Amino acid sequence: MSGIYDSVIVSGGKGMLGHALADALRKRGVEPLIVDREECDITSRQQVEQLFQEHRPTLLLNCAAHTQVDKCEDEQELANAINGDGTGYLAEASKEYGTYFTHFSTDFVFNGQSDRPYRPDDVTDPLSAYGKSKLNGEKRIQSVNPGNWLIVRTAWLFGRYGACFPDTIVKLAKAGRQLSIVNDQIGCPTYTVDLAETTLDLVERKAKGVFHASNLGIISWHGFTEAILRAFQINVPVASISTAQWLAIRPKQAIRPAYSVLDCTKTDQLIGRSARHWQLALDEYAAAMAEADKH
C-alpha cells in the first residue's frame, strides 16, 4: 500500500511490540526503519527533529515508552519525560512533516471502578505514576493535534522479544519459586502479534482518534497464570491472593486498576472483525516460545 507506507519509522522498535509491528509490516511488503533510544532519544526535541528531517516519515508507529509500572513510581520525572514530553515532541514533528502519528497507550489510564468494559470516550482517572504519564502523552498528542493521529490503548501485553507476564511466570515456575498471584484484578491479555495486525488494519483505514485493541475474553491475573502454566505444560500450584494481601507483601507496588477490560467495539466495526480469544493467542505464543527454545 503506497502513500502511508512510503517511509515508516517504528520508534522504540527493539521492544516487544516494536518487533511484532516490524514483522507485521514485512508481511505486508513494507520494510520499516527501526529506531530505539540509541538512534533517537525521544526526550530530546533536537534528536526527534533530526530524525524527521532525515527520513521524512509518512507513518510513525511509536512504541517508545517507560513501561515498568512499579519503577515509574520511583522514576516519575523520567516516566513523564518519556511517556509525556517525548510523545509530545513526536506529535509536534509529525504535525510539521505531515506524518501519520500512531501511538500506543494503556488501560492504566482508567481507575478500574467501571462495571462494564471501558470505551475510548470514557472518563480517564489513572491511579499510578505510569498511568498518569501515559495519559499525559495522550493529552500532549491531542493538544498538538498533528492531524492524522491515532492512539491505540491496549492492555496486559505479552509476546516474544521482551519481558512480559507469561515469560516471568514460566521462569519463576521453572526455578521452583512459590507463585502467589492476585485474583481480584480483572482484564484481558493482549498478544503483540494480534495488536500489531489490528493496528495496521486501523492505519490502512485511516483511523483517527482514540481506539481500544485487545484480545477477546476476561480473566484475572490468577486465572491467566493457571492458563499460562497449562499452555507451557508446567504443573505447579498457584496460590490465590487479594490485591490487599499482595500490597501488604510489596507495599511499594504501583496501584493497579481492579477492572480494566477494554471495549473494542469501535475498532472491530472499523476493521470488520473481532480479535481472537486470548487463550488461542496464548497457545500460539507458547508454541512459538517452544520452537525458539529448540534453536
- How far is residue 179's CA from residue 103's CA, in Å, rounded to a whole number? 34
Q: Return the closest-CA partner of residue 266 out of 192, 189, 205, 188.
A: 205
For the chain, what percentages of helix, strand and coil (3-state, to nearest 5) are there?
45, 15, 40
- How far is residue 281's CA from residue 260's CA, in Å, rounded to a whole number? 19
- How far is residue 18's CA from residue 33's CA, in Å, rounded to a whole number? 11
Q: Enter the C-alpha cell of residue 191.
A: 498478544
Active-site pick, 5, 89, 97, 130: 130
Active site residue 161: no
Contact assessment for residue 86 and residue 64, using Cβ atoms and an 8 Å cutoff:
yes
Calculate the alpha carbon distances from 269 to 35, 198, 273 in Å: 32, 12, 7
Q: Return the closest-CA partner of residue 5 out of 72, 60, 74, 70.
A: 60
Longest CA–CA separation in the chain, Å: 55
Which of the 8 DSSP states describes residue 7?
S
Contact assessment for residue 275 and residue 264, using Cβ atoms and an 8 Å cutoff:
yes
- How far is residue 149's CA from residue 203's CA, in Å, rounded to a whole number? 10
- How far is residue 190's CA from residue 234's CA, in Å, rounded to a whole number? 21
Q: Enter the C-alpha cell of residue 96.
A: 510539521
Q: Return the closest-CA partner of residue 12 out of 146, 109, 157.
A: 157
- How far is residue 187's CA from residue 258's CA, in Å, rounded to a whole number? 8
Which residues have a catalytic role annotated? 130
